[in-house]
């Protein structure tokens, strides 16, 4: 079977790459192998790459994307979740006006060098909405100028069997000469008749009581929350019967005064705890077999910055049809599904 050759940029610990390759089990579902082969994976974070190397057979490289060149490399697909900090809605120090912080320019440079048949770019919702979509449209126009038809969709991980409310914008480009359209995957979980029920946190968190007391917040932290202004969202205890708020890289912090999800173990005794790294990874849809290198803090950061493997699997599965050799009868830019947006 022919495999689509892939360059993975900003690969981090490998969430997107795992989803792209498939062949893993999550909760009670098996996500079959997909016809992709990663010929390059890299990230500037050496600790994330150590985790990557612990979980994949192919090599990954620690390197700044600005130092990468692929002028003589043949690849069919380029993927990358370019760093989102400048566009994050929870980052008060963001400076998206600085071009050096907008790494989609570097991703576009590599796409122009390689000229793959397709690419997948991912970022936070803030990138899509910030300044009335200015930066998002800027990126899409750049990708279009390179010769790609652009599709985008704001996807929520909880709609695809992940126990987490995590909205991210995905941009998919198909090279114009390929003459094929792309359709984002239909949601698999929700309240609509015929869909599976959304996956609750309890599928991952089996008990409110942790295995290690180190995950409890101190009394001082709880008292700090009490002194917080009433309008501030703090100590966001999660309902195990529902979906978790977005897992971020901040879970290593010891303060309850943050917008990250926590667990209320005992209301009367005011016992709160953070998620363990294993629980956080599970909520991000990493299989239990996935191992993280480094400290707990390193693991939290890698997990929070990752693309959920299950969500990526669904996107990659839909995109695999673009690489099939069979002729397509439909006209270019024909009818799309409701969650598929084409930018003319």
Residues 172, 49, single domain; the answer is yes
- Read off the pLDDT of residues 199-210 as tens digits, 9 standing for 90 and up: 999 999 999 999
Banded pLDDT at 192 (limits 50, 70, 90): confident
Whether 13 maps to a domain, the answer reads: yes
Taking the C-alpha atoms of residue 311 and residue 327, their distance in angstroms, rounded to an integer, is 27
Residues 11, 108, single domain; the answer is yes
Residues 75, 150, single domain; the answer is yes
Report the range of poorest mean pLDDT among 105-109, 122-126, 334-338: 334-338
Reported pTM: 0.90
Residues 86, 221, single domain; the answer is no
333's tokens: 């830019």
Residues 208, 251, single domain; the answer is yes
Banded pLDDT at 342 (limits 50, 70, 90): low
Please enumerate in sequence order all residues whose Cβ is within 8 A of that of 131, keeping only pairs 6 or more positions apart, or say none.
96
Q: What is the mean pLDDT of residues 86-100?
A: 49
Per-residue pLDDT, 54: 97
Whether 295 maps to a domain, the answer reads: no
For 339, the 3-state DSSP assignment is coil
Residues 17, 101, single domain; the answer is yes
Cβ atoms within 10 Å of 323's Cβ, excluding its own = 18
Q: How many domains, in total, are found in the chain? A: 2
Residue numbers annotated as active site: 84
Decide: 247 and 277 in contact? Cβ < 8 Å.
no
Q: DSSP secondary-structure letter at 214?
A: G
Question: Token match 């100590």: residue?
Answer: 235
Q: What is the mean pLDDT of residues 299-327?
A: 93
Whether 266 maps to a domain, the answer reads: yes
Whether 170 maps to a domain, the answer reads: yes
Predicted confidence (pLDDT) at residue 337 exceeds the cutoff of 80: no
Q: List Cα–Cα distances, 231 to 214, 227, 228, 239, 253, in angstroms.
A: 29, 12, 8, 21, 22
Banded pLDDT at 194 (limits 50, 70, 90): confident
Taking the C-alpha atoms of residue 246 and residue 44, their distance in angstroms, rounded to an integer, is 24
Whether 236 maps to a domain, the answer reads: yes
Per-residue pLDDT, 254: 59
Helix 46-55 / helix 296-305 crossing angle, nearest 10 deg: 80
Decide: 16 and 310 in contact? Cβ < 8 Å.
no
Decide: 217 and 256 in contact? Cβ < 8 Å.
yes
Decide: 136 and 84 in contact? Cβ < 8 Å.
no
- Read off the pLDDT of residues 255-305 as tens digits, 9 standing for 90 and up: 687 888 999 999 999 999 999 999 999 999 999 999 999 999 999 999 999
Predicted confidence (pLDDT) at residue 328 exceeds the cutoff of 80: no
Domain that holds residue 127: 4-190+307-343
Whether 248 maps to a domain, the answer reads: yes
Report the mean per-residue pLDDT for the chain.
Answer: 89
Residues 329, 270, single domain; the answer is no
- Which CATH number covers residue 155? 3.40.50.150
Banded pLDDT at 246 (limits 50, 70, 90): very high
Residues 206, 276, single domain; the answer is yes
Whether 293 maps to a domain, the answer reads: no
Report strand pairing: 341-343 vs 118-124.
Answer: unpaired
Residues 182, 221, single domain; the answer is no
Q: Please return the burial class of 2, using the count of CB atoms within 10 Å of its CB with bins 0-12, 13-18 and 19+.
A: exposed
Whether 334 maps to a domain, the answer reads: yes
């Amino acid at each position: 079977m022919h495999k689509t050759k892939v360059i993975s940029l900003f690969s981090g610990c490998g969430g997107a790459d795992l989803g792209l390759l498939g062949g893993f089990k999550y909760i009670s579902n098996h996500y079959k192998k997909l016809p992709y082969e990663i010929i390059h994976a890299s990230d500037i974070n050496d600790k994330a790459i150590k985790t990557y190397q612990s979980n994949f057979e192919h090599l990954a490289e620690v390197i700044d994307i600005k130092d990468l060149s692929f002028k003589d490399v043949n690849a069919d697909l380029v993927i990358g979740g370019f760093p989102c900090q400048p566009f994050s809605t929870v980052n008060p120090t963001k400076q998206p006006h600085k071009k050096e912080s907008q790494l989609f320019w570097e991703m576009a440079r590599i796409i122009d060098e390689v000229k793959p048949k397709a690419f997948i770019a991912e970022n936070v919702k803030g990138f899509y909405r910030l300044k009335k979509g200015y930066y998002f449209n800027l990126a899409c126009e750049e990708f279009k100028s390179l010769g790609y038809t652009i599709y985008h969709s704001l996807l929520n991980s909880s709609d695809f069997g992940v126990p987490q409310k995590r909205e991210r914008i995905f941009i998919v480009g198909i090279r114009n000469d390929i003459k094929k359209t792309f359709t984002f995957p239909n949601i698999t979980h929700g309240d609509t008749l015929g869909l599976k029920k959304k996956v609750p946190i309890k599928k991952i968190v089996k008990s409110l009581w942790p295995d290690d007391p180190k995950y409890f917040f101190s009394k001082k932290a709880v008292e700090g929350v009490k002194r917080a202004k009433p309008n501030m969202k703090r100590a966001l205890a999660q309902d195990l019967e529902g979906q978790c708020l977005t897992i971020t890289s901040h879970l290593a912090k010891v303060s309850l005064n943050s917008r990250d999800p926590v667990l209320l173990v005992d209301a009367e005794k005011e016992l709160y705890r953070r998620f363990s790294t294993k629980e956080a990874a599970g909520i991000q849809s990493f299989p239990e077999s996935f191992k993280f290198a480094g400290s707990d803090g390193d693991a939290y950061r890698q997990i929070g910055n990752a693309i959920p493997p299950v969500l990526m699997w669904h996107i990659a599965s839909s995109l695999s049809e673009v690489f099939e050799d069979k002729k397509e009868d439909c006209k270019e830019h024909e009818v799309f599904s409701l969650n598929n947006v084409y930018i003319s």
